[in-house]
Amino acid sequence: MKNLTFILIIGFIAVNYLYSQAKNTCCTFSSEETFVALAGDMDFKDAHSVPLPFKLALEKGTMISFMTKDGNSANAYEVKSDKPSNKYILMFHEWWGLNDYIKKEAETLQSSLGDVNVLALDLYDGKVAQTSDEASKYVQSIKQDRVFNIINGAVDYAGTDAVFGTIGWCFGGGWSLQASILLGDRSKACVMYYGMPEKNLDVLSKLTAPVLGIFGSKDKFITPELVSEFENNMKKLNKSFDVKIYDAVHAFANPSNPDHDAKATEDAYYLTVNFFKQNF
């Protein structure tokens, strides 16, 4: 009897161990781990100039809060469609946080698409970086579970019949991809601007939404080599991936960036709007 009890205990431990290992494998999001490490790099910090002062004068949207399953609340800047719509775009900010530049992007995109609601999510829970050092600190302090709770809280806020698109830049570009993976077939389109690609094929295999990836050939961090590897992985998995690479640096689409490329940004925005209209 003692031997049987011992065997059952060992078996129970083994099953739980294997389950935990399988769970960890399927939930290992390599892209954000890589970006967090990158955020501490001095060259990466130096590549992000402090945003030029900007205050959103006429806010079409509203700051909202919603509950998350970890017992906390989360924030977002919501720009609603003039007519009721079950279409939502989840927008993910750069490493600076949910500042007025991102709120303006939310308003502009909503106006261009019309029959969608845009939720620009606050992944920093009210903090906005004023310096690269602050931004680096905020990125490195991010907890994946908290971000997933924020995303799921936004999904619950949108309602059971809602469908989604996602978009983000830099830090937010990676999270745009992760959100679309998390949402499964409820995500209809994903746009990522120079975000860290996902390398874990088990994770990437869960993606169902088509992806538009926008990158810069002079990006020293999200390099053309990384983009090429991502493109090959998407092909291996038979995933829909449109990629556009501009002769530009990292964060070229940020209007507060001294290396902002207005022409490339305009073209990328045109592609973005058409991509959402075709797939969403």
Domains and their CATH numbers in the chain: 32-279 (3.40.50.1820)
Calpha distance 71→57 (Å, rounded): 34
What pLDDT sits at residue 45?
A: 80
| pLDDT score, position 8 | 39
Residues 181/158, Cβ–Cβ less than 8 Å: no
- Beta-carbon neighbour count of residue 50 at 10 Å? 14
- Confidence class for position 259, pLDDT limits 50, 70, 90: confident
Across the range 249-259, mean pLDDT stands at 89
Whether residue 224 is predicted with pLDDT greater than 90 in this model: the reply is: yes
pTM here is 0.88
| pLDDT score at 19 | 36
Which residues of 144-273 form beta strands (DSSP E)? 163-169, 187-193, 211-216, 241-246
pLDDT value of position 57: 83
Q: What is the pLDDT of residue 276?
A: 98
What pLDDT score does 225 carry? 97
Q: What is the mean pLDDT of residues 19-26?
A: 36
Q: Is 60 exceeded by the pLDDT of residue 176?
A: yes
pLDDT band at residue 46 under the 50/70/90 scheme: confident
pLDDT of residue 43: 82
> Which is it for the CA torsion 279, 178, 220, 45, positive or negative?
positive
How far from 252 is each of 120, 194, 260, CA to CA, in Å?
Answer: 20, 9, 5
Q: Which residues pair with 79 in a beta bridge?
A: 118
Q: Please, which contacts does 232-237 make with residues 24 or more away whose CB atoms are closer than 8 Å?
A: 233/197, 233/199, 233/201, 233/204, 234/204, 236/201, 237/201, 237/204, 237/205, 237/207
Cβ 197 vs Cβ 221: under 8 Å: no
Distance CA 176, CA 58 (A): 26
pLDDT score, position 23: 35
> Of 19, 27, 17, 18, nearest to 145 (Cα)?
27
Please give the residue that has the higher pLDDT: either 119 or 10: 119
Residues 175 and 167: their CA atoms lie apart, in Å, by 8
Cα(128)–Cα(134) distance, rounded to whole angstroms?
8
Mean pLDDT computed over 159-188: 97
* Arithmetic mean of pLDDT over the chain: 89
User: Does residue 191 contact residue 240 with C-beta atoms inside 8 Å?
Assistant: no
Identify the CA nearest to 259 among candidates 49, 38, 78, 114. Answer: 49
Average pLDDT over every residue of 106-114: 97
Q: How confident is the model over 73-100, as a mean pLDDT?
A: 97
In the three-class reduction of DSSP (H, G, I as helix; E, B as strand; rest coil), residue 129 is classed as: coil
Confidence of residue 59 (pLDDT cuts 50, 70, 90): confident
pLDDT of residue 6 exceeding 50: no
